[in-house]
Amino acid sequence: MQNVLVTGGAGFIGSNFVRYLLNTEMQVRVINLDALTYAGSLENLQNLPGPARYEFVKGSILDRELVDEILQKFDIDTIVHFAAESHVDRSILGPQAFVQTNIVGTFTLLEAARQLWVHGGSGRSKRVRFHHVSTDEVFGSLDPDDPAFSETTPYAPNSPYAASKASSDHLVRAYAHTYGLPITITNCSNNYGPYQFPEKLIPLIILNALEGKPLPVYGDGQQVRDWLFVEDHCEAIRLVLQKGVEGETYNVGGGNQPANLEIVQTICDLVDELRPDASLEPRRNLITFVKDRPGHDRRYAMNIQKINHDLGWSPRFALADGLRNTVAWYLDNPGWIAAIRQQQEYQGWLDKNYNSR
């Protein structure tokens, strides 16, 4: 890795990866391509380490001319593709954007990389890699006693978001098989940590608990997710880029399976401890059960034996430690929260999604 294009690097996981890469790979130059839609913000990229090795380009992965220009101008040898519409709730209310960004956008990037690295021959004189960041949701839902998802689990996506990511995964593999494009894929479980857009479960609960607002929990709250601290995800991707076998897929997960209600209750207790307010405690009393979302997957779990055995990766952050760090970060960064909340579309969407239930 010398010149890395990160797509969607102003979003939650992408911005954490940009920061992580600049901190750990001192010879790497990072080009960040992001359209700055609702979930991407330059606020996520303040005070980056190694600013001389970083450049931001505002634009869409759907813009083939721009993508071609970036690949050639910066002599890109590595693409780390985060850019995606990623919220299941939004995909239920408006699936078209998910098809365009997640499928057509990935296709645009693949075509540009193929043209330059394979057809044009520039990739033959150096090591190049197209790394695609995907999700555990492509595998569908697990029953309580089912084994965890492995890299060979058949795809069975249940939401428009999951279906669009499954489609992009298939495209990436097809370009490797048909054209010889050097690729790797990671399918990752639910991430949490700093800079996550505050409509997602964990930051939403933190901020509502802090402000004494209702804490919406879908259905009975017994949906099970495998939670991973975002820095652990960044480390996994870096390791796959360095040591992963071309053409391979690696599952990445946190190795835990709490129910959503347990996550919400833990956050309530942490906010009570770190920001006590007698008028609001215990904040567990703010929990409000709302109508479940359509087609809500019941359980996800990731088998991470392959990446652990082949590459030596395992998560460093226990869930309790990661949640404490995350709650503390949101409590300590009111300026970031205020800047994100200035987006009118953010509050409007929250009202539409939760109040209608």
Going 200 to 206 to 207 to 208, the CA torsion angle's sign is: positive
In a domain, 346, yes or no: no
Q: Which two tokens stand for residue 278?
A: 């007698």
What tens-digit pLDDT sequence spans the chain (357 residues)? 899 999 999 999 999 999 999 999 889 999 999 999 877 899 999 999 999 999 999 999 999 999 999 999 999 999 999 999 876 777 777 889 899 999 999 999 999 999 999 987 666 557 899 999 999 999 999 998 999 999 999 999 999 999 999 999 999 999 999 999 999 999 999 999 999 988 889 999 999 999 999 999 999 999 999 999 999 999 999 999 999 999 999 999 999 989 999 999 999 999 999 999 999 999 999 999 998 877 788 899 999 999 999 999 999 999 999 999 999 999 999 999 998 888 656 566 566 566 665
In a domain, 344, yes or no: no
What pLDDT score does 356 carry?
A: 60
d(CA 43, CA 34): 13
In a domain, 74, yes or no: yes
In a domain, 233, yes or no: yes
What pLDDT score does 128 carry?
A: 96
In a domain, 119, yes or no: yes
Residue 159 maps to which CATH number?
3.40.50.720
The model's pTM is 0.93
In a domain, 263, yes or no: no
For the chain, what is the domain count? 1
In a domain, 160, yes or no: yes
Domain that holds residue 58: 3-192+229-255+299-317
What pLDDT score does 92 carry?
A: 79
In a domain, 209, yes or no: no
Q: Give catalytic residue positions.
A: 136-137, 161
